[in-house]
Chains A and B, each alone.
Chain A
Amino acid sequence: MTEREYAYYSGCSLEGTASEYDASMRAVLKELDVNFREPDDWSCCGSTPAHTVNHVFAAALAARNLALVEKIGLNTIITPCPSCMMAFKKAQHGMTKSESFKNEVNELLDEPYECGVESKSALQVMYEDIGLDAVSQRVTHALPGLKVAPYYGCILNRPPEVAQFDDPENPISMDKILLSAGVDVRDFAFKIECCGAAFGVVKREMVNQLTYKVLSMALDAGANCIAVACPLCQQNLDLRQGQVNSTMGSNFNIPILYFTQIIGLTYGLSPKALGMDKLIVSAEQIIRSRITVEELKKREETEAQVKAKKPEKKPVKEEAKPEENE
């Protein structure tokens, strides 16, 4: 499994606002013995602005990058950002489905793209290729007290015919990956609800309302942390938490972590290497609560012993029971 080599496309967010996603992703993939290469001279994926203007142009922007991957002889590309992944998957879908669309797109490119590259989100690669067993094998540390609500956002697995991954209404891949890293995962009803996406730029009050709902539903689910796999979701939930608090009168203080950061913590990686210091809502408590798996076992054993002492009183109760019955 580890012999497989992937191309890695970080995209614009991971170069800037989400550099901690990039750092933690690279660190975790390295831990999982995944070999990956970045194509030279990659360019914009065509994401939000391009596809609202022209589908051929958007696909061409994506296909240019895919063609670069083809050129270095790889057939699968990991894209941590769901927006990039959707741009790639849509281009691939459209070009393999329609020959005329493929020709239109290739006309815009210097070198034609032969449709030989499969794009996968980092989540998909971990879930389908690396596997849950491999994810759990590297775990050295535990995060007791951490209760995570996995938040998928809107486009990781939708539209289903293009995404071809997980369930569009009730995705479970991140839940399972985090579970196999030994984390307490909460069933979260709002895992696919909208975070407001790019509307933060033009209509901030709408994003405030939507993120408010997501954050309060996570609290309702008993979580004290939200795991994300999308730079924009992270930004809306983390960066705007203060705005939400001031406009909605709430008092949220929930750390929003990339799922790779959480896994990195369980692998014993340093918080600095995982870019934990870049989060707006501090994850200090989570980091400080980290202990090794052996320590956790010891702690559980002592707790079990304390519990075991209690039943000594039980026989008294049991003696009382038959009387009650009689």
Chain B
Amino acid sequence: MRVGVFICHCGNNIAGTIDVAKVAEETRKLPGVVYATTYMYTCSEPGQEEIQKAIKSENLDRVVVAACSPRMHELTFRRTVAKAGLNRYFFEQANIREHVSWVGEKKEANTNKAIEIVRMAVEKVKQNKPLYSTSFKVNKRVLVIGGGVAGMQAALDCADGGLEVLLVEKSPSVGGMMSRLDKTFPTIDCSICILGPKMVDVAQHDKIKLHAYSEIDEIKGYVGNYQIKIRKKATYVDWTKCTGCGTCMEKCPSKNSYDHFNFGVAPTRAINIPFPQAIPKKAKIDPNYCRQFVKGKCGVCAKVCPTKAINYEMQDEVITEEVGAIIVSTGYSLIDIERLPEYGGGRYPDVITGIQYERILNASGPTSGHIVRPSDHVEPKTVVFVACAGSRDKSIGIPYCSNFCCMYIAKQAILTKDHVPDSQSYVFYMDIRSPGKGYDEFTRRAQEEYGVKYIRGRVSRIYPKGNKMIVKGADTLLGTQVEVEADLVVLGTAVISNSDAGHMAEKLHISYDTFGFYVESHPKLRPVETNTSGVFLAGACQGPKDIPASVSQGSAAASKVQALFSKDMLESDPAVAKVNINACVGCLKCVKTCPFQAIKEKELRDGRVVADVIETVCAGCGVCTSTCPCGAIQLQHFTDNQLLAEVNAICLT
């Protein structure tokens, strides 16, 4: 066996705190090592050529690179050795950057640790076996979860590229948060006017199948071959018959239903179409408020419906679909205003959220676009906006910035002046974050042209006095306390992840951060991929995002799917579990522990029952290996012998 070891300087990243020459020198003494050298940047093109040259000139049959994390470059180096004619699994990477040079400061100790890590890798690589991928067919359909602007963009881009798309939206209409906005910054164009056509395209595209008011029940399978169970929730209206005429809505006697679309600004009917531009434009009954469900008698909508579409007996329906890739665009939620008691959230009617104000500003909103305050329906003359309401606040567990509040507050302040010319708006802010194209000019316009008064400082208390709301805060630029008598207070509430984001992540086998936002493969270089191949992210489910960013991500995710589907066959990862049927006693403990349901029982010709791994489903986690009482199931590339060789290298020498 002829092992070659390449120790990377990684500029100063590694060589700065590790004596790489000494590591090479010590490595040369290891049994089996015939070549050891150092190189400035091993991952660079000349660096890779160096490895290939050495493989040929030194007749190497195993290669170790001591460099950064295998997450970063394992694939790169596997390709390098494969080009030189070796099996790609005859390569091992020793991580002496993240595990050594970046975390330790003492050069001597670091050098010793690096030597030990390289020794482990050398012992491991000597045990490596050649592995070969198999290939499997790809189902070229894509599932998009969430029909907000990011999801719709992704669906349209995929569909325009000729792919069949399934779009699943949990609410009764597509459009998401953007469909609730009145105007968009910094261009002040009407949100639904630019979104509406997209929504119609989604509904009419012959490649897109839209499942509105539906949720994902179950996701099984692997990249290229997913089986999805979609729950079509009961709307109690037969959507094949409903024409969206709205007669039922007019006649419904239950007038105090909570309006989810308008965030409760005004009540709605128990049977309703969420908004005039809704796609699909179909009615839906809210059984929490419908008299037929609550009291057991009413039936007005059934009587008046001209197409006899009402069906109180309707049940949820579960359908199964097969797709090859998934784009997740489930969006975000906003913090519950009652979590901000110092601002009187939920206690005083004239303290509302930005999105509620957006509905009040909207021409098709509950007030037909007239600005009135909720308590007495009087036009407010003084409006106070509070930025960072709940966000950038460690004390309630939301330390991050909500990204778009600075901009929409400036927009709403401008619109307030447009609607009520003799009004005065105040904005309490921590700092103005407006780095997008045309954004800073926009926030300046609010101050300079529209006379919005910006006060730098947090608001401490909001309370009512007479028919005014007193907003108490600090002006940290003047160094004084400020009190503003407001008619209406609008909170720029913190953006949070959806309450079911964790459940969804578990169904998708993707990771999410402490705040429930989905984690991308690499924050810079793989922003729309997840660590589960075949699952991509778009929009605010990955972190707070404004419309341009969400749309770009939607398109990016679609292009990733197109690239994935450009091949007819995909290669499987051979580093999966494998059963030695001679040693397997058929206890099937592995079947029970496998988190991916990748192991099935199999009956051999002689009637013996053994475990059998479905290679394409196996994710290579290794749980089965540690469960197996007789060591019959082994994870390829991480077998007991290979791991023991590493342990021995560090413990026995």
Q: Do A and B bind each other?
A: yes
Query: Is B253 in the interface zone, CB < 8 Å from A?
Result: no
Query: Is B341 in the interface zone, CB < 8 Å from A?
Result: yes
Query: Is B464 in the interface zone, CB < 8 Å from A?
Result: yes
Query: Is B56 in the interface zone, CB < 8 Å from A?
Result: no
Query: Is A96 in the interface zone, CB < 8 Å from B?
Result: no
Query: Is B404 in the interface zone, CB < 8 Å from A?
Result: no
Residue of B nearest to A216 (CB): B465
Q: Mark B284-307, 1 if CB is under 8 A from A, else 0.
A: 000000000000000000000000
Are B465 and A217 in contact, with the CB atoms below 8 A? Answer: yes
Query: Is A167 in the interface zone, CB < 8 Å from B?
Result: yes
Complex: A168 Cα to B463 Cα, angstroms: 15
Are A169 and B342 in contact, with the CB atoms below 8 A? Answer: yes
Are B466 and A220 in contact, with the CB atoms below 8 A? Answer: yes
Complex: A217 Cα to B466 Cα, angstroms: 9
Query: Is A190 in the interface zone, CB < 8 Å from B?
Result: yes
Shortest distance from the beta carbon of B342 to any chain A beta carbon, whole Å: 5
Are B341 and A220 in contact, with the CB atoms below 8 A? Answer: no
Query: Is A139 in the interface zone, CB < 8 Å from B?
Result: no
Are B341 and A170 in contact, with the CB atoms below 8 A? Answer: yes
A168 contact set on B, CB distance < 8 A: 341
B341 contact set on A, CB distance < 8 A: 167-170
Query: Is A189 in the interface zone, CB < 8 Å from B?
Result: yes
Q: Is the interface of B mostly helix, strand, loop or mixed?
A: mixed
Complex: A217 Cα to B472 Cα, angstroms: 15
Interface residues of B in 301-360 (CB under 8 A from A): 341-342, 344, 347
Interface residues of B in 440-491 (CB under 8 A from A): 463-466
Shortest distance from the beta carbon of A289 to any chain B beta carbon, whole Å: 28
Complex: A168 Cα to B122 Cα, angstroms: 60
Residue of B nearest to A189 (CB): B463
Complex: A202 Cα to B344 Cα, angstroms: 33
Complex: A190 Cα to B341 Cα, angstroms: 13
B344 contact set on A, CB distance < 8 A: 189
Q: Mark A158-174, 1 if CB is under 8 A from B, else 0.
A: 00000000011110000
Complex: A189 Cα to B464 Cα, angstroms: 7
Most B Cβ at <10 Å: residue of A167, A169, A220:
A169
Complex: A192 Cα to B480 Cα, angstroms: 22
Interface residues of A in 215-249 (CB under 8 A from B): 217, 220
Are B463 and A190 in contact, with the CB atoms below 8 A? Answer: yes
Q: Mark A137-179, 1 if CB is under 8 A from B, else 0.
A: 0000000000000000000000000000001111000000000
Are B342 and A189 in contact, with the CB atoms below 8 A? Answer: no
Residue of B nearest to A188 (CB): B463
A217 contact set on B, CB distance < 8 A: 463, 465
Are A220 and B465 in contact, with the CB atoms below 8 A? Answer: yes
Shortest distance from the beta carbon of A192 to any chain B beta carbon, whole Å: 9
B466 contact set on A, CB distance < 8 A: 220
Shortest distance from the beta carbon of B218 to any chain A beta carbon, whole Å: 40
Shortest distance from the beta carbon of A285 to any chain B beta carbon, whole Å: 26
A170 contact set on B, CB distance < 8 A: 341, 347
Interface residues of B (CB under 8 A from A): 341-342, 344, 347, 463-466
7 contacts between A and B (CB under 8 A): A167-B341, A168-B341, A169-B341, A170-B341, A170-B347, A217-B463, A217-B465
